[in-house]
Chain A
Amino acid sequence: MICRPLFKATIRKNRSLFILFLSVLTLYMTIMIAMYDPHDMEAITAMLDLFPEQMMSAMGFSSMITDVNSYLASWLYGLLMLGFPLVYCVLLGNRLVVKMVDDSSFAYLLSSPNSRSTIILTQGLYAMISIAVLFAALFGLGVLACSVAFPGLLDVQGFFMLNVTTMLVNMVVMMICFFFSCLFNDTGRATALGAGIPIAFLLMNILGGVTAEAKVLKDLSIYGWYDPISVASGNTEARVNLWYLAVALLLFAASILVFRRKRLPL
């Protein structure tokens, strides 16, 4: 049971934030695809060899790239498609709940005949759907750009699964931010944890790629549960996808539960 007028208002209010991030990611994707040269991958590989190997693997860039799928998986989905959406999740998570509690405009939502659960469910659903729409749009865009620039080179199936897994890990990040947004009454603490934990995961994922000894960091990070290049090459990580989905839904349910019970200083 969701609250339709609130859902509509939430879309209107957060539209520009969504468009901003979609535009930035579109820009990056287009540039990345334009830079791909199927006949000259040796040149890119040679360029990569100029950099220290550890640094490259930390960034998730592999020198094994030959096809466009692994190229996108490594250059785009290895870091950019995690880092930028992370910022989006933090900003959106704040705007959906804690900002309105902090400035007490949330009182107006609750002075309507809608329960707290309905309101949080509606806001959280917007968060999840906006991530889904973001990656659906990016997937469509990638397919389109590749079919224009390099017809027949992209393995659409593999690219689709790469987008699914990246979307799911970002949903987990979204729900981490959303949970802290529901848990706290002030924006400061909600941001500290909502942004801090995903950033820590991202750093752990980067550092974990540097050496074999540090790999444990990568395993502990939610970003390290899959290898983008392998997924893009057609090895679907069904179990990892399910895990992400489960964690995201668990956090969503927890958000509703904590918000239902807490005291609101409105």
Chain B
Amino acid sequence: MIKVNAMSLTYPSGKGVHALDFSVARGEVMGYLGPNGAGKTTTIRALLGFMLPDSGSCTIGGLDCQKQAPEIQRTLGYIPGEITFIDGMKGDEFLSFMLEMRGLSDQRLQKQLLERFELDPRGSIRKFSKGMKQKLAIVTSCMHDPDVLILDEPTSGLDPLMQNRFIELIKDWKQRGKTILMSSHSFEEVERTCDQVLIIRDGMIISKTDIQTLKDTRRRGYLLSCDDAAAAEKLLRHAGFEVSSVDDTIIEVFITGDRMDQFIKTAARCTVRDLEMKQQSLEHVFMQFYDKEYDDHDL
């Protein structure tokens, strides 16, 4: 459905994307992960037809993203990474305006979505909170029942409850056979919605994996407090885990997705006082993943 062929798009600063190659099949939900400045938004700009690539091409549903942008837009839903609505409009005015711009008049889906996200669109958009603006952008992107959705960090600014609502929405759309490309820098969000994940860094796709592999690769740190930390460390090390000692009573154990069960069973042999998951920054997680990729492919 979405096809990107050897596409390069370089800015005068030298940044951009280089020889990008990927495709998203019909009905697939593709996560698009990468740190800030990696080229996620640039890819999306090319797909939306805002920027002509220097070389290569991209198509959606067989239509060229630059030459046939208006036709593509008929069945495309888009959430910009940086959302700015048209100045001076009220929320409900904006929704009607966008429907009219598409030549549509059916407001049923729009009403359903507003209820789903508990959004009252009346009032000036300028006075909306960040979360309300994000909700308005979500409703705008879906209210014409598009076949393809391109979402640039769709849940930023939403509270956890609404993030869950959004994830449910994506799952619904997925069941109805929509094709979705969703950029994000949240592993959790991608983990819960996507089938496949593309990882981009410095303008190059460094990996395309299915979600299970990503989960397995992902290494979590757990802080384990025991009566006899030294013994526990030895035991776990013996079982093949990566362990480091934090202080006399606490050790840190690193676990990849598929070894959780083994870890619990091994740790159960000690007297456990506390077990805590260590919060990891996204950069940290990325670094781990990238390092692994470097090892695997010897890039």
- A→B interface (CB under 8 Å): 3-6, 9, 13, 99-100, 103-105, 107-115, 118, 261, 263-266
> Could you tell me the distance in whole angstroms from the C-beta of A111 to the nearest C-beta in chain B?
5
Count of chain B residues with Cβ under 8 Å from any Cβ of A?
A: 28
Q: How many A-B contacts at CB < 8 Å in the complex? A: 77
Q: List 15 A-B contacts (CB under 8 A).
A: A99-B87, A100-B87, A104-B84, A105-B84, A105-B86, A105-B87, A109-B101, A110-B48, A111-B76, A111-B78, A261-B52, A263-B51, A264-B50, A265-B51, A266-B45
The interface residues of chain B lying within 8 Å CB-to-CB of A4 are 100
The interface residues of chain B lying within 8 Å CB-to-CB of A114 are 70, 73, 101
The interface residues of chain B lying within 8 Å CB-to-CB of A261 are 52
Beyond known contacts A4-B100, A264-B51: 17 more, CB 8 A cutoff: A5-B100, A6-B101, A9-B97, A13-B87, A13-B88, A103-B84, A104-B84, A108-B140, A109-B101, A110-B69, A110-B73, A111-B73, A111-B78, A113-B71, A114-B101, A264-B45, A264-B50
Cα distance A114–B181 in the bound complex, in angstroms:
22
Q: Given A13-B88, A105-B84: A113 and B102 within 8 A (CB)?
A: yes
The interface residues of chain B lying within 8 Å CB-to-CB of A5 are 97, 100-101
Q: Shortest 4 CB-CB distances between A and B: which pairs?
A: A5-B100, A112-B101, A105-B84, A263-B51
> Could you tell me the distance in whole angstroms from the C-beta of B23 to the nearest C-beta in chain A?
22
The interface residues of chain A lying within 8 Å CB-to-CB of B51 are 263-265
The interface residues of chain A lying within 8 Å CB-to-CB of B49 are 110
The interface residues of chain B lying within 8 Å CB-to-CB of A109 are 86, 101
| Interface membership of B157, Cβ < 8 A | no
> A115's closest neighbor in chain B, by CB?
B70
Cα distance A100–B85 in the bound complex, in angstroms:
9
The interface residues of chain A lying within 8 Å CB-to-CB of B71 are 113
Partner of A100, one of B50, B86, B103, B140: B86
